[in-house]
Amino acid sequence: MNKTPLFTLFAILCVVLTACNAPLPPTSSGSAPSNESQPAADSSQPAAATEDHSHAGGADSDHPHTSDVDLTHLELGDGKYSTSPQAGYVYSCITQFNGGGATGTGSWMNGDGTWDATKKAVVDGSVTWPSSFTLSLQGGQRIFTGNDLPNHPTGNFPVDPGDDAYAVDRNPNSIQEQSITLSLPANPTAAAQPNCVGGEVGIMLSGVVIFSAFDAEGRDAVAHEVQDECDGHPQISGFYHYHSLSDCIEDTSTSGHSSLVGYAFDGYGIYGYYDEDGAEVTNDDLDECHGHTHIVEWDGGMVEMYHYHATHEFPYTVGCFHGAPAVRALSAGEGQGQGQQPNGQGQATGPAGTGQGQQGQPPQEAIAACAGLSEGASCSINTPNGTVTGVCGAPPNSSQLACIPAGSNGGQPPASTQP
C-alpha cells in the first residue's frame, strides 16, 4: 500500500481545514537539550557505550514489595499480536505493521529470545516541561485535559549523536505540546467480548499517553526502542509517550497492592507492578487483557472491579480492552520516523490506530467513509492511488467516526521529511 497519497490528502485537508491545529513549539523551562545535560542520578555514570541502568527494575530499596521477575532475561514480545484475546499477547486491531528495514540491535539482547532490562541504553538528559493535566468527574464521565507534556523530566530529543542510545535508536523527533481532551466512562463495564487495541492504550497520571507494547514494526517496543530515564520518547508528531509503566510515576503504595498509575481508554484503571500480597504481578496472574478482578481503591473507595496491571513482562500494560474503548488513539500513531538503522534511514510508519490527520483532526474523506457506520466497522477511502481500507473509530474530541487506515502510517509524513 502506498501511503504517500493518503498523507498528501490528509496534509492538504489540514491546510484547508482551520480545525487542524499546528502543534505548538516545545517549551522547555529546563536546560536546553544538550549532550552535556545529564540527570542528577546519572551524572556519575561513565559515558560508556552501554550504560547499566536498573531503572526498569521497580526494585526500589525502600519498597517492601517483592519480585521474582528476572529483569536480565525478559522474553521478547516481537510479533506477539493476535487476532483474538490471548494472555501474554496484544490483541491488536493492527496486524500489518509496515515498518521496515534492519535496525540497530541493542547489546542488551541476550540472543536467546530474551533481553536484559538492566543493561538497556537510555536517552540521556533532564529537560523539564510546562506540563498541564486535569482530571475531573462529570456526569458519569472522567474528563481529561492536558498537553501531553510530562510532569517529570525527559531526555534530550532528537537523540544526540553523542548519546550512547544513538547507535541503536536515532529518534529524530522533538517533544511537542499537544492538546488532549478525553472523556472516559467513570465506572466502566465489561464489554460482551474484549476489544482489540490500536496504537495507544491509555493515559497515565503523569499526563502522558501510553502506547501499546509494539513499535512500528510489530516488535517489542520496550525491548527495542530506546527511551529516556522516565521510559518515554516522542513519536513523529511530537507526542511524548510510554510503552510501559514509567519509573517516574510514583506507586504511592508502600506495601500490598500497587496504587493507580493511569487509565486505559475503556475507563478501567491501570495499577502498578504489585498485587495484594505485595508480590510482583506476572502474566500468569492476569487474564487475556492483562487484568484481573478484586477489591481495589477507586475514586477514594474500595471497590471490587476489573483493573489492569503494569508488568515487566510483555505486553507491559493493556493487552486488549476489557470494556469498550472510548477512543483508540490521541496521536497519529507510533510513526517515529526513527533513523534506527546505521544509515539513518528512518521509518515513518506505525501502528496508527487512529483516523486522525497528523495534526489532530481527521480529513473529511475519512469522516465521510464512516458515515452511517458504527465504531469498529470496516471502511474504505478512495485515494488517487487506489482504495485504502480500515476501521471506523472516533477521535477524542469528536463524536464523528473517521476511517482509520489499517496498518497505515495514519497520515504521517514520509520518512524523507524527517531530519
Q: Which C-beta is closer to Zn ion: that of 177 or that of 280?
A: 280
Cα Rg of the chain, angstroms: 20
Q: Which C-beta is closer to Zn ion: that of 42 or that of 365?
A: 42
Shortest Å, Cβ 216 to Zn ion: 8
Shortest Å, Cβ 52 to Zn ion: 9
First CA to last CA distance, the chain? 24
Element (H, E) at 9: helix 4-16
CA separation for the pair 70, 81 (Å, rounded): 23
Residue with cell 552501554: 50
Closest to 160 in 3D by CA, of 309, 10, 31, 306:
31
> What grid cell was written down for 223?
525491548
Shortest Å, Cβ 98 to Zn ion: 15
- What strand order describes the sheet that includes 133-138? 133-138, 141-146, 180-185
Q: Which C-beta is closer to Zn ion: that of 133 or that of 306?
A: 306
Shortest Å, Cβ 284 to Zn ion: 13
Shortest Å, Cβ 309 to Zn ion: 6
Closest to 257 in 3D by CA, of 213, 194, 305:
305
CA separation for the pair 94, 97 (Å, rounded): 7
CA separation for the pair 266, 142 (Å, rounded): 11
Shortest Å, Cβ 360 to Zn ion: 19
Shortest Å, Cβ 105 to Zn ion: 17
CA separation for the pair 146, 397 (Å, rounded): 12
All residues at 6 or more sequence positions from 357 whose CB lies less than 8 Å from its CB, including other chains: 10, 11, 13, 14, 20, 332, 363, 366, 411
Secondary structure tally for the chain: helices H, strands E: 3, 18
Q: Which C-beta is closer to Zn ion: that of 26 or that of 269?
A: 269
Q: β-strand 402-405 against 386-393: which pairing, if any? A: antiparallel
Half-sphere exposure of 130 (CA within 13 A, CB side): 8
CA separation for the pair 412, 348 (Å, rounded): 7
Shortest Å, Cβ 232 to Zn ion: 8
Shortest Å, Cβ 221 to Zn ion: 5
CA separation for the pair 68, 66 (Å, rounded): 7
Q: Which C-beta is closer to Zn ion: that of 296 or that of 403?
A: 296
Q: Which C-beta is closer to Zn ion: that of 13 or that of 53?
A: 53
Shortest Å, Cβ 163 to Zn ion: 8
Closest to 302 in 3D by CA, of 350, 344, 259:
259
Q: Which C-beta is closer to Zn ion: that of 142 or that of 219?
A: 219
Residues that bind Zn ion (CB under 5 A): 42, 51, 122, 124
Q: Which C-beta is closer to Zn ion: that of 211 or that of 392?
A: 211
Instruction: Characterise 119 by phi-psi region: left (phi > 0), alpha (psi -120 to 50), beta (else).
Output: alpha
Element (H, E) at 364: helix 364-368
Q: Which C-beta is closer to Zn ion: that of 11 or that of 122?
A: 122
* Residue 232 bridge partners (DSSP): 242
Q: Which C-beta is closer to Zn ion: that of 53 or that of 142?
A: 53
